[in-house]
Amino acid sequence: MPTALATLSPIPSREFWFREGDVVLSCPGPNGQPFLYRIHKFMLARHSPHFADMFKAEGPFEQPLETYEGLPVVPLAEPAVEVFKLLCCLYNAMNGAAFKDDQRPIARYDWLLRMCDKYKIAPLREVIFAQLKIEWPDTLSGWDAREAQIAVLGKQHLAARPSGRVHNMYLDDRLPEPVATIGIARANGLLQLLPAAFYDLARRDPRADWDAFHGITTRNLPANQRMLAEGMRSARWNTLGAQDLLALAAAKERQLQCLRELLGRISNTPLLHPPCTAAQDKLVDSIQETAILTRDPLFALQRARKHLDAAGICHSCMARTIYALTALRMCYWRAIPKIYLLERS
């Protein structure tokens, strides 16, 4: 006789449906239908004491109430798309490969961490933490490497205009979201992630709401599609805590004040030649304008350093200016925790 599961027209997974699999996971699918994964008990039991106990001879699922194609069915409450992410990690030996798939990026870890806690998957939890530290570095060199990688992705999407999609995804789909990271960092004591997450969040437009950009009913609205195609990056503004929201709002003025103070060190130190000093003063003004426009002082300082040839500063004075800008970027990076009041975290 057909089981109750069979009567609901379940959808088998294409990626995780192994002929030699000996257990079926049933999860809520996107359309309300059960979504099935046929996998190996040993893969779950190897990483999770919860599943290891479940599959013991005396465990509660040795004689399940339901089967599918003769295999025991384990129902999971998590959405199928999140279980897919979990299986990607488990079947890639939890070496981070699942986080590097351009076509199926895992840009959010909140569901994965919840499953790690629920099913006691400690090794994957540590892999996620290691990946978060790469995505939200606590060193300026790490930040620059991150931004260089994002710039490469940005060029791919720029070349795909007017749709702006690569692998049927927008740039926003492929990058981590800062508000979720802030929540994960606070909940798990990963406070070293907060400076980079807050700095990145401050650069994002409050109009770009993550829920609107990724919601089934709102993603395809013309205004949202236009912003996504232009490469705008969203944030989960509605889930940001009140204290963090106030700190972010107050940081706008502190950010500019910090930049002005640092740039004042350059303005108050004349170069060897008066024309170069005048050119340097114009450069300082340009840095401030770029920082305000982009909400990104680190980028503004980096951009000025890379385009000194066009600033009108002679080569004998240029080395001094490069050194000063490099030092100021490091000073600004170190000031970020104070700008966002993170020393009180």
Strands 34-39 and 11-17 come out as: parallel
Residue where a domain stops, chosen among 185, 207, 240:
240
Residue where a domain stops, chosen among 85, 105, 125:
105
DSSP 29: -
In sequence order, the 6+-apart residues with CB closer than 8 A to the CB of 318 are 308
One domain for residues 140 and 178: yes
Buried b (16+ CB within 10 A) or exposed e, 144-181: eebbeeeeeebeebeeeeeebbbeebbbbbbbbbbbbb
Q: Could you tell me if residue 150 is inside a domain?
A: yes
One domain for residues 310 and 230: no
One domain for residues 144 and 230: yes
One domain for residues 212 and 156: yes
One domain for residues 97 and 61: yes
Q: Residue 98 sits in a domain of what CATH number?
A: 3.30.710
One domain for residues 214 and 170: yes
pLDDT tens-digit series, residues 131-153: 999 999 999 999 999 999 999 99
In sequence order, the 6+-apart residues with CB closer than 8 A to the CB of 17 are 36, 37, 38
Write down the pTM of the prediction. Answer: 0.86
Residue numbers of the domain that contains 295: 253-344
Sheet holding 23-28, edge to edge: 11-17, 34-39, 23-28, 71-75, 67-68
Q: Could you tell me if residue 128 is inside a domain?
A: no
Residue where a domain stops, chosen among 218, 240, 262:
240
One domain for residues 165 and 236: yes
Question: What number of CA atoms fall less than 13 Å from residue 197's CA on the CB side?
Answer: 25
322 Rama class: left (phi>0) / alpha (psi -120 to 50) / beta: alpha
Residue 116, burial from CB neighbour count under 10 angstroms (0-12, 13-18, 19+):
buried
Q: Could you tell me if residue 40 is inside a domain?
A: yes
Q: Say what the pLDDT of residue 233 is.
A: 95
* Omega cis (within 30) before 64: no
One domain for residues 88 and 50: yes
Q: Could you tell me if residue 246 is inside a domain?
A: no
Cβ proximity of 317 and 272 under 8 Å: yes
Q: Provide the token pair at 70.
A: 């003769």
Residue numbers in the chain where pLDDT is lower than 50 = 1-2, 345
How many domains in the chain?
3
One domain for residues 146 and 220: yes
One domain for residues 231 and 262: no
Q: Could you tell me if residue 114 is inside a domain?
A: no
Q: Could you tell me if residue 145 is inside a domain?
A: yes
Q: Say what the pLDDT of residue 1 is.
A: 35
Question: What number of CA atoms fall less than 13 Å from residue 114's CA on the CB side?
Answer: 12
Query: Cα 108 from chain centroid?
Result: 6
* Cα(229)–Cα(217) distance, integer angstroms: 18
Distances (CA, A) of 144 to 111, 127, 135, 329: 28, 22, 11, 11
**What Rg, from alpha-carbon coordinates, does the chain have?**
25
* Cα(345)–Cα(341) distance, integer angstroms: 8
Angle at 90 between CA 85 and CA 93, to 5 degrees: 130
One domain for residues 271 and 336: yes
One domain for residues 223 and 309: no
Q: Could you tell me if residue 113 is inside a domain?
A: no
Helices (H), ranges, the chain: 41-47, 49-54, 80-91, 110-119, 122-135, 140-159, 171-174, 178-188, 194-202, 210-214, 222-229, 242-267, 274-294, 297-306, 315-339
Q: Could you tell me if residue 248 is inside a domain?
A: no
In sequence order, the 6+-apart residues with CB closer than 8 A to the CB of 159 are none
Distances (CA, A) of 276 to 40, 268, 301, 323: 69, 13, 18, 15
